[in-house]
Each structure stands twice: as C-alpha cells, then as structure tokens.
C-alpha cells in the first residue's frame, strides 16, 4: 500500500505543478516539458510497455495450459464476453441519459469551422476476422493484442493436451512469466516519478480557454464515468464478485493510478494483472485470460465518452436524434469501444465511426479534442477497472461451480 500512497502523491504533486505552470509561467512550460517532464514520463511509459507483449503471451499460454478442459475455457470466455457486453451497454446508456438530462451542448453552437479531419476508423468486421494471425511472429512484433491472445490460447491448449511430452516448454513459459512479473515489480518502484511527470505534462499543456468553453461536456463525461464506476461496478463487485466494493477499489488503486497517468489500458496491463493477482487474489489463470482480453476489447469508459460526445454533437449542431438512431449509437459505440486499441486518444478516432453511422458531422470532434487528454486519463482508469471487476466475477462464479463439483477444484491453484 505504501507504493499507492507514493503514486497518488506523485499525481497530486504533478497536477499542482501543471496548474502552476499553466497559470503563472505558460512560457516556461514548453522547454521544461520538452527536456524534463516529457522524457521522464516517456521512460516510465516505455518501461511498462516493454513488458506488454511478453506478459500477455507468457501468461495466456500458462493460463490456458492450466485449463485442461476446453469446456471450461469456453465457459470462462462466455462469462467474460457476456459481462463485457452488458456493462458496456449500461455504460453508454448512463452516458446518453445524463447527456440528455444535463444538455451540455444546448447552450453552445457550432459554426462548422474546425481543422479536425476524421481519420478512417478501422472497420470492426476486419478486426474480428483478423483475430487469427496468419503470421504469429508478425503479430508479436506489431503488438497486435487480439492476434497474440488467439495464438497464445492455441499454444496453451496444445501444451495442455500434450502434457508431459512438452513439459520443458511449459516450464519455460512459466519461468518467462515469473521473470516478467518480477520486472513489473521493479518498474513499479519508479511509478510515482513517472506518474508525476506524465500528469504535470498533461495538465501544464492544457489550454485554460478550452476547459472553460467545453466545461459542461467535460463535467457530464466525468459524472457518467463516476456513476458507472460507483453504481454499475460496485453492484457487480458486491453482487457477483461477493466482495466489498471499497476494499476492491483500495486494493486495485495502484493499477488505476497508473492507468490514469498513462492513458493506456494496454500499457497498464502488466501492472493491472499483477495488482489483481496479488491484491485482489484473482487466480493467475483467470487474470491472465480476462484482463488482456478486457484491455483490448472492453472499454466502458471509452463508450461513455462516445455516448456523451454523440449527444453533445447532436445538440450543438441542432440535430434531434430519433429513438432508432439512439439504439444505433448504443450498438455502434459498443462496437467502437471493442475496436478501440488500448492506447491514448484512440477512443476519439473511433468516435468518428459512431457519428457517421447516425449522419452527424465529424468536424466538432475538433472541439472535444481540446479537453480529451484529461478525460482520456479518467476513462482509461474506468476501462481497466471493468476488466478487474469481470475477473473477480469469473473467479467467484468458477469457485461456486467447483464447490458444487469438487472434482475440478484442482484447476484453481493458479
Ligand atoms: N486511452 C483509452 C485506453 O487505453 C482508449 C481511449 O478511449 O482512447 O483505455
């Protein structure tokens, strides 16, 4: 817990330093950011990102190899994806309801002037079809998460079936996993400094004017994120995970702080897995299956931003969305959040896809861009919390099953 306190202290100090620069020395911010804050933050980011591909690969191979029963893998997959879809749908519904209630965009108007150019969002169907890598080595070098997950599941499955014949390789994978987890522990010691530099850099670079003009949008997204975490996740943690939500949040807070400072679910993955396994006592097997998958496809925070942003843009451009269009927003925002990569800012690019589906202009994304950095940090913390809540749910429901049928209980040593 000491480390969490240090990270939070780093965050608070970073915000203070950023605000001071912003208010009193905006001119000095550039060089300080370029030569001090930026590089320190980047070193920390690179250190944890360095571990993402090997950790996902080793841990999923080891996790899958431990599940000798393919039915169990299917069952866990079903529960995981079911949880992801339900919570994401609830997330967008909360976001849109709140945006309709508070009407952040009614006061404003949009002149149609903005230098935002919509990038082509990757088609969701392609993402789904590409899950099986035709070249696994390429998937590993490019860090294509879904492909790495699929390949690792195949290898793990084969290791489970081949048993003693491939014991050496399985041991090697287990040791690889141990080495990566050890490195996470060491790198986390530098997290307070990394968090400080990343936050100071983000806050210091934030234009005051942008925050003022986009204030209402900002507040609605933040409120929806908090409501989702406090109501949806807490209920899931309490009812499905049989755990005290406060205890859960306290135990998982180091990972949330790192997600907040890095704005990247994928980048935070090594830390969120280690935190879930050690502090929340999630079996390795479940954590290494649910969390990498979640960091790639489960983004409730991102869906919330997209829901609020769509309603906001409809309001500032004076478009009344029909009920059918609202349903389309829910469906496409769910797909868009699945297709969003867990790296900073991608949620905004995927927003273009949602807007296009309901015929809204994409140019107002330029307005949102100005305040997106801070929202990105917050939604990333929500994104990874949803994955951990899901891992807890899968753990509890598998435990219950094992109690009913003790013969498979041995699966859970992790
Ligand atoms: N930064 C987010 C994440 O990594 C994705 C996004 O919404 O842009 O979870």
pLDDT over 90 for what percent of the chain? Answer: 48
CA of residue 344 to ligand 1 center, whole Å: 5
Q: Which of 342, 350, 382, 386 is the pocket-test mutation for ligand 1 (most atoms within 8 Å of CB)?
A: 342
pLDDT at residue 139 in the model: 92
Q: Which residue has the higher pLDDT, 331 or 202?
A: 331
Q: Which atom of ligand 1 is nearest to the CA of 301?
A: 7
From ligand 1's centre to the CA of 347, what distance in Å? 6
**Residue located nearest, by CA, to atom 3 of ligand 1:** 342
Q: In this predicted model, which residue has the larger pLDDT, 296 or 83?
A: 83
pLDDT band at 185 (very low <50, low <70, confident <90, very high): confident
In this structure, which residue's CA is closest to atom 6 in ligand 1?
Answer: 347
Q: Return the residue whose CA atom lies nearest to atom 1 of ligand 1.
A: 344
Q: How far is the CA of 314 from the centre of ligand 1 (A)?
A: 23
Q: Is the predicted pLDDT of residue 299 greater than 90, yes or no?
A: yes
Classify the C-alpha dihedral 353-355-359-365 as positive or negative.
Answer: negative
What pLDDT, on the 0 to 100 scale, is given for residue 23? 86
- Which carries the bigger pLDDT value, residue 250 or residue 146? 250
339 CA distance to ligand 1 centroid (A)? 11
User: pLDDT-based confidence at 370, cuts 50/70/90?
Assistant: confident
Among 105-119, 312-326, 390-404, the range scoring the smallest mean pLDDT is 105-119
Q: Of 229-233, 252-256, 292-296, which range is least confident?
A: 292-296
Yes or no: say if 356 and 330 are a contact pair by the CB < 8 Å rule: no
Residue 192 has pLDDT above 70, yes or no: yes
**Does residue 245 carry a pLDDT above 80?**
yes
Look-up: residue for tokens 């969003």? Answer: 340
Pocket test for ligand 1, best of 52, 338, 379 (most atoms within 8 A of CB): 379
> So what's the pLDDT on residue 237?
97
Contact 153, 13 (CB under 8 A): no
Q: Are 274 and 374 in contact, with CB atoms under 8 Å apart?
A: no
Domains, the chain: 2-401 (1.10.3860)
pLDDT for position 406: 61
In ligand 1, the atom with minimum distance to the C-alpha of 340 is 5
Which two three-digit tokens encode residue 221? 């997204």
The number of beta carbons lying within 10 Å of the beta carbon of residue 135 is 12
| CB distance 147 to 126 below 8 Å | no
Lining residues, ligand 1, CB within 6 Å: 263-265, 299, 302, 340, 342-347, 376, 379-380, 383
Band (pLDDT 50/70/90 cuts) for residue 108 is low
- Going by pLDDT thresholds of 50, 70 and 90, the confidence category of residue 412 is very low
Atom of ligand 1 nearest to the CA of 380: 9
Q: Is 243 helix (H, G, I), strand (E, B) or coil?
A: coil
Residue tagged 């389309």 (tokens): 328
Whether residue 110 is predicted with pLDDT greater than 70 in this model: the reply is no
Q: How far apart are CA 228 and CA 234, in angstroms?
A: 9
Contacts 24+ apart (CB under 8 A), 398-402: 398/72, 398/76, 398/286
Tell me what the mean pLDDT of segment 377-398 comes to.
Answer: 96
| pLDDT confidence of residue 159 | 93
DSSP notation for 329-396: HHHHHHHHHHHS-SSTTHHHHHHHHHHHHTT--STTHHHHHHHHHHHHHHHHHHHHHHHHHHHHHHHH
Averaged confidence pLDDT in the chain = 87
Q: Which of 1-5, 25-29, 135-139, 159-163 has the lowest mean pLDDT?
A: 1-5
Other C-beta atoms lying within 10 Å of the C-beta of residue 49: 18
Q: Does residue 80 or residue 48 have the better pLDDT?
A: 80
Per-position DSSP letters for 194-252, written without gaps between them = HHHHHHHHHHHTS-HHHHHHTHHHHHHHHHHHHHIIIIIIHHIIIIIS-S-HHHHHHHH
pLDDT tens, 272-285? Answer: 999 999 999 999 98
Which residue is associated with the tokens 């180091």? 254
41: left (phi over 0), alpha (psi -120 to 50) or beta: alpha
Reported confidence tier of residue 265, pLDDT bands at 50, 70, 90: very high
Span 4-50, pLDDT tens digits: 788 889 988 998 998 898 888 888 889 999 999 999 988 988 888 88
Query: What is the distance in A from the centroid of ligand 1 to the CA of 365?
Result: 16
Q: Which residues contact 390 (CB under 8 A, 6 or more apart)?
A: 80, 83, 84, 87, 236, 290, 294, 298
pLDDT for the residue 281: 95
Residues in the chain, total: 414
Please check the confidence at residue 345 and state whether its pLDDT lies above 70.
yes
At a CB cut-off of 8 Å and minimum separation 6, what does 199 contact? 10, 11, 14, 15, 18, 260, 261, 377
Burial label for 156, CB within 10 Å (0-12, 13-18, 19+), is: buried
pLDDT at residue 40 in the model: 94
* Neighbour tally for 113: CB within 10 Å: 7
Between CA 95 and CA 8 the distance in angstroms is 27
User: How far, in Å, from the CA of 381 to the mean position of ligand 1?
Assistant: 9
- Please give the distance, rounded to the nearest whole angstrom, from the Cα atom of residue 295 to the centre of ligand 1: 9
Supply the DSSP string of 76-140, one letter for each residue: HHHHHHHHHHHHHHHHHHHHHHHHHHH-TTSS----S-----PPPPPPHHHHHHTTS-S-HHHHH
**pLDDT at residue number 411:** 46
Q: Which of 401, 414, 300, 339 is nearest to 79 (CA)?
A: 401
φ/ψ of 132, rounded to 5, equals: -85, 115
What share of the chain has pLDDT > 70, as a percent? 91
State yes or no: pLDDT of 243 exceeds 60: yes
Q: Is the pLDDT score of 342 beyond 70?
A: yes
CA-CA distances (angstroms) from residue 245 to 2, 92, 239, 241, 249? 20, 22, 10, 9, 6
pLDDT at site 344 = 83
What confidence score (pLDDT) does residue 366 get? 77
**How far apart are the CA of 379 and the centre of ligand 1, in A?**
7
Which one-letter DSSP state was computed for residue 239? I
């Amino acid at each position: 817990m000491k480390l969490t306190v240090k990270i939070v202290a780093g965050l608070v100090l970073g915000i203070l330093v950023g605000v001071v620069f912003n208010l009193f020395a905006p001119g000095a911010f550039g060089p300080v950011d370029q030569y001090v804050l930026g590089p320190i933050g980047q070193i920390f980011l690179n250190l944890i990102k360095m571990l993402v591909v090997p950790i996902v690969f080793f841990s999923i191979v080891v996790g899958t190899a431990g599940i000798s029963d393919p039915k169990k893998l299917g069952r866990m997959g079903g529960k995981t994806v079911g949880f992801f879809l339900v919570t994401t749908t609830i997330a967008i519904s909360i976001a849109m309801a709140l945006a309709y209630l508070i009407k952040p965009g009614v006061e404003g108007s949009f002149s149609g002037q903005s230098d935002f150019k919509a990038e082509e969002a990757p088609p969701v169907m392609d993402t789904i079809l590409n899950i099986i890598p035709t070249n696994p080595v390429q998937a590993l070098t490019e860090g294509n998460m879904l492909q790495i997950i699929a390949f690792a599941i195949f290898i793990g499955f084969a290791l489970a079936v081949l048993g003693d014949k491939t014991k050496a390789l399985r041991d090697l994978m287990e040791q690889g996993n141990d080495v990566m987890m050890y490195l996470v522990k060491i790198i986390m010691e530098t997290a307070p400094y990394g968090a400080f530099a990343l936050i100071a850099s983000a806050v210091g670079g934030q234009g005051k004017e942008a925050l003022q003009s986009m204030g209402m949008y900002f507040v609605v997204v933040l409120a929806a994120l908090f409501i989702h975490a406090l109501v949806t996740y807490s209920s899931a943690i309490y009812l499905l995970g049989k755990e005290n939500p406060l205890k859960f949040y306290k135990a998982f807070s180091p990972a949330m702080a790192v997600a907040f400072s890095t704005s990247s679910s994928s980048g935070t993955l090594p830390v969120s897995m280690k935190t879930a396994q050690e502090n929340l006592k999630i079996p390795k097997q479940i954590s290494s299956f649910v969390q990498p998958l979640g960091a790639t496809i489960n983004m409730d925070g991102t869906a919330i931003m997209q829901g609020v942003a769509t309603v906001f843009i409809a309001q500032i451009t004076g478009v009344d969305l029909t009920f059918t269009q609202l349903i389309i927003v829910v469906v496409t925002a769910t797909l868009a959040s699945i297709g969003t990569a867990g790296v900073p800012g991608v949620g905004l690019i995927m927003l273009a896809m949602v807007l296009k589906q309901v015929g809204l202009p994409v140019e107002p994304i330029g307005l949102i861009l100005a305040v997106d950095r801070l929202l990105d940090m917050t939604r990333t913390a929500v994104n990874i919390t949803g994955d951990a809540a899901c891992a807890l749910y899968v753990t509890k429901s598998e435990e219950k099953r094992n109690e009913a049928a003790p013969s498979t209980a041995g699966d859970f040593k992790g």
